[in-house]
Amino acid sequence: MKKIILIIFTLFFISSFSYSQSKLPKCIGDKNKYNNCYGKVEWDFIGDSKLIYEGEFKNGGPHGFGTITSPDSKYIGEYIDGRRNGKGTLVVFDRFKYVGEFKNDQKEGKGTLTKQDGSTYIGEFKNDRENGQGTFTSKEGDRYVGKFKDGKRHGQGTFIINGNKFDGEFKEGKLNGQGTATFVSGNKYVGEFKDGKRHGQGTFTYTDGRVLKGIFEDGKFLGN
């Protein structure tokens, strides 16, 4: 709760400071015709709730810098023709905070996503999801650095979890293809993976020097 209150206070401070810097004149007259001015409007939202926008206008809609607040979210940043475009901060209360670039109301470009569970993603976005190169860090400190597709580990990357390190090609969040697993115990596997398990040709080396080299299936060694 304290974290959410801090975020809301920060957003209020940023918005107040930014509006005072607007060089546009104050909007007057019909709000549907606000143009090249600064003002505040309210629209009916869900039930008795309101959608409140305060900022710069063009052709009757948000354009430039502004803040829009709904019962469950708040956005502060840049608009083009009524849509989030450019840099901004979006907070969806009790879910996440995103600071970064937008295109046509979606997260697109570079940004930082912090979720309510304490996890963070820093990297590239496309189509409102984590897509491209990025770094994910869980609340517990587990960390993945590499390629993402639609919010999942997908492509070349390195995943460190509970001290164990996995390098290689990921697909749908799991190792698939050639990879290397280095365990906290000191044991190491180099070879092929399928759905996160040792599967195919590979070599497993124990810390005591023993070596298993040959075919693995579903994580088990079958032999040479």
- Do residues 190 and 203 make contact, with C-beta atoms less than 8 angstroms apart? yes
pTM above 0.85, yes or no: yes
CA-to-CA distance for 119 and 109, rounded, in angstroms?
20
- For residue 134, the tally of other CB atoms under 10 A from its CB is 23
If you average pLDDT over every residue of the chain, what do you get?
A: 92
Structural tokens at position 35: 């143009």
Note the pLDDT tens digit of each residue in 121-166: 999 999 999 999 999 999 999 999 999 999 999 999 999 999 999 9
3-state SS class at 12: helix
Confidence of residue 46 (pLDDT cuts 50, 70, 90): confident
pLDDT above 50 (res 5): no
Confidence of residue 63 (pLDDT cuts 50, 70, 90): very high
Instruction: Please give the pLDDT value at position 146.
Output: 98
Structural tokens at position 3: 């974290």
Calculate the alpha carbon distances from 19 to 28, 55, 67, 71, 96 in Å: 17, 7, 9, 21, 25
- Angle CA(184)–CA(187)–CA(189) in degrees, nearest 5? 115
The average pLDDT across 61-76 equals: 96
Q: Where are the beta strands (DSSP E) in 93-210?
A: 96-103, 106-115, 120-126, 129-137, 143-149, 152-161, 164-171, 174-182, 188-194, 197-205
- Angle CA(51)–CA(53)–CA(56) in degrees, nearest 5? 160
Calculate the alpha carbon distances from 201 to 43, 165, 177, 194, 214 in Å: 62, 19, 10, 11, 6
Confidence of residue 178 (pLDDT cuts 50, 70, 90): very high
